[in-house]
Amino acid sequence: MRIGFVVNDLKTEESDFTTTQLAMTAANHGHEIWYINVGDFALRPDDHTWAHARTLPPERHRSYEVFLQRIRSNAALCQEIDLQDLDVLMLRNDPSQDILKRPWARMASINFGRLAKRLGVLVLNDPDGLSQSLTKLYMQYFPEEIRPRTLITRHKDEARDFIASQGGYAILKPLSGSGGHNVFLVRPHDTPNINQMLEAVSSEGYVIVQEFLADAIHGDTRLFLMNGEPLRVKGKYCAIHRQRRTGDADIRSNITAGAVAHRATITDEMLHLASQVKPRLIQDGLFFVGLDIVGNKIMEINTQSPGGTHSAQKLEDAPFALEIIKAIEQKLALKKTSGSSMDNANLATCSFDKKAQ
């Protein structure tokens, strides 16, 4: 298959990113991969959507670092491609990274992904589903019992009242954000600094004021779902437990904020949480997502470009990336046999009977 990977900017990609892992795995599995920067699309007068893209000659890759270096180097073939000639387009850019400096880029892959979908390309995750889940407001579409108590506002008095009602403890974070950027833990002795915290977060828009879960001091678990189900290979779950470093006062469990990935223990309670979100994820065509779980609550559902499978694969010694690529192959095979009878969202999240893992 010919598969395109949309990223914010190839220059800022890292060797341990999930996108790098998926692209190299697909290439090693005999597929033609193309990297597309979110600013490199064009809609031409012929109504076709084109992109400036980069690929590598067919070869076996053994190192993510070398693979990424080569796709950036003169070894790569740079070419304009008609998206109609792709079989799959994976929207792997993170819109929250472009909020401040490149606001024009925030919806670009979703909008051009819709055009690609119209041309018959399988787009993952479904761009309409991604549009609905663009901010953390998406959590409010799920059952109240599986998510922390949350206030979303730009009014500081309202935020302070909510924090007071929680005994002086709360989490502050921007409605649109990722990687732990501008996330604050408020404690009773922080009262004099609340205005400064709110100013910092509200500078980016609406503020999430969220119930603080005591279990968060032990980190969180990111559990990956594919086709609405926990991704599992040979009985091993694709998941990581993210723990802040010993002695670190920073509450954030994001790897990009310095947290460390450990093997995760997946409990029946976590699997129940996953089952609660499955119907909506299927409805919205969200093929691959990550749930951030603390205790018995889901803190966030990462739909735009969930990362961490690189760590999960190393910790569990299981080929999760290959399982994802195989699932995409199955979808394309079904697409060929079903013709146009399945829309993109249904095809994006359809699953297949398989032997017990």
Read off the pLDDT of residues 248-280 as tens digits, 9 standing for 90 and up. 445 545 444 457 999 999 999 999 999 999 999
Across the chain, the runs of DSSP E, i.e. the strands, are 2-7, 32-43, 49-55, 77-82, 88-91, 122-124, 150-153, 170-174, 184-186, 207-210, 220-226, 229-230, 232-233, 236-237, 239-243, 260-262, 288-294, 297-302
pLDDT on residue 288: 98
- Total Cβ atoms within 10 A of residue 60: 7
For the domain spanning 149-210, the CATH number is 3.30.1490.20
Tell me how far apart the alpha carbons of residues 93 and 80 are, in angstroms, rounded to a whole number: 19
Domain ranges of the chain: 2-124, 149-210, 216-318
Burial level of 71, CB count in 10 A (0-12/13-18/19+)? buried
**Whole-number percent of the chain with pLDDT over 70:** 93
Class of the CATH-defined domain 2-124: alpha beta
What fold does the segment set 216-318 form as a domain? D-amino Acid Aminotransferase; Chain A, domain 1 (3.30.470)
Q: Do domains 2-124 and 149-210 have the same CATH topology?
A: no
Taking 60 as the threshold, does the pLDDT of residue 194 lie above it? Answer: yes
Which residues lie closer than 8 Å to 62 by C-beta, 6 or more apart?
A: none
Q: 87 with 332: CB under 8 angstroms? A: yes
Which residues lie closer than 8 Å to 265 by C-beta, 6 or more apart?
A: 221, 241
Read off the pLDDT of residues 222-255 as tens digits, 9 standing for 90 and up. 999 999 999 999 999 999 999 876 544 455 454 4
Tell me how far apart the alpha carbons of residues 146 and 152 are, in angstroms, rounded to a whole number: 17
Among 356, 223, 207, CA closest to 277: 223
Binned at pLDDT 50, 70 and 90, residue 203 comes out as: confident
pTM of structure = 0.91
